[in-house]
A = this chain, B = another copy of it.
Amino acid sequence: MSTVAVVKKFINAPDDVVPEALSGMALAHPGLIRVDAENQNVIRADAPVKGKVALISGGGSGHEPMHGGFVGRGMLDAACCGAVFTSPVPDQMAAAGSAVDGGAGIVHIVKNYTGDVLNFKMAAEMAEDEGVNVESVVMDDDVAVKDSLYTAGRRGVGGTVLAEKICGAAAAQGKSLAEVTELCQRVNGQVRSMGMALTPCITPGAGTPSFELGDDEMEIGIGIHGEPGRERLPLEPAAKIVERLTTPIVEDLPFSEGDKVLAFVNGMGGTPLIELYIVYNELNKLLQGRGITIDRNLIGNYITSLEMAGCSITLLKLDDELTALWDAPVDTIALRWS
């Protein structure tokens, strides 16, 4: 038997996965983005935009289209891509800052994972030393666990997609650094998420599943790197799974009768779209029963864990301002409307 596991993936070599994927992205979408290959950053094609607050996010790769697929008009100015499931580094983030700084300051939107938080903090200090104003907002919308394998406090998950869209729209409309920062904090305050997995995933480097799940088991409250959740249970019907995810979300904020929400049903990568619509159908029933109205929705694979089968549910409490910012034009690889 070979000592090298056969990984059933489209790769040439594990170390080349991220650089080659970024090369493909750059070739495919020259009107939207450019790639700084040396720093592994995806940059908005026309950056820097003078006078506009710049938005930067990033994290480990393997969660595509997050974050590189959200770079473009009306959303992010740059995404810093780490190796698969590995934080990007401060120098890389600082380079992204230099590439997109339009003179109005920079907001770092950071998912709450210890590596990301520390590295974005160092990058912010480097930028401040150069006289650039940087604000950071740490997203921590995952209600599943208090602390996890890679995180002190709650993890940042699906809410980050919504924050990037909404804050990107505000920045495009000329809001100030303080206003965009406050808005991002407000989104984080009003958004809650929880995920689950039916299967593990395999990173190109490891070649073996990130964890083991029995043939009839599922993991409720899983993190986006396969880190443990709340509980491992026998598989259940879709309606019951949706209830297990939604009840903790609704009761955490809490979301109340009369609330309008944006409901985001996210696939972890390996779940067919047809199943995500079944999840949405159940979610709609459940929220209707609580007097909560879904006013906007997003359904698809947006923050993934490679080919993991599973889903997450994110609810954002809407008001007129957030709704208008959600509806505002966006032109990125993964989200596009006018």
Contact = CB atoms under 8 A, between A and B. Distances in A.
A319 to B, nearest CB: 21
Interface string A195-229: 00011000000000000000110100000000000
Interface in A237-296: 237-239, 241, 269-281, 284, 294
B11 A275 contact: yes
Interface string A23-36: 11101100000000
Interface residues of A, number: 59
A275 B10 contact: yes
A281 B273 CA distance: 26
Contact of A281 (B20, B84, B311): B20
Given A21-B281, A23-B281, A280-B27, A198 B9 contact: yes
Given A272-B64, A275-B10, A24 B280 contact: yes
- Copies of this protein in the assembly total 2
A135 interface: no
A272 B64 CA distance: 7
A274 B64 contact: yes
Which of A65, A216, A277, A306 has the most chain B CB atoms closer than 10 A to its own CB? A277
Nearest to A218: B8
Contact of A10 (B12, B24, B311, B337): B311
Interface string A139-162: 000000000000000000000000
Secondary structure class of chain A's binding surface, majority of residues? mixed
Interface stretch (A103-111, A116-124, A170-178, A297-305): A297-305
A309 interface: yes
A324 interface: no
A278 B11 CA distance: 7
A235 interface: yes
B215 A307 contact: no
A215 B22 CA distance: 28
Contact of A277 (B21, B198, B271, B294): B21
Interface of A: 6, 8-13, 17-18, 20-25, 27-28, 61-62, 64-65, 69, 84, 198-199, 215-216, 218, 235, 237-239, 241, 269-281, 284, 294, 297, 299, 301, 304, 306-307, 309, 311, 336-338
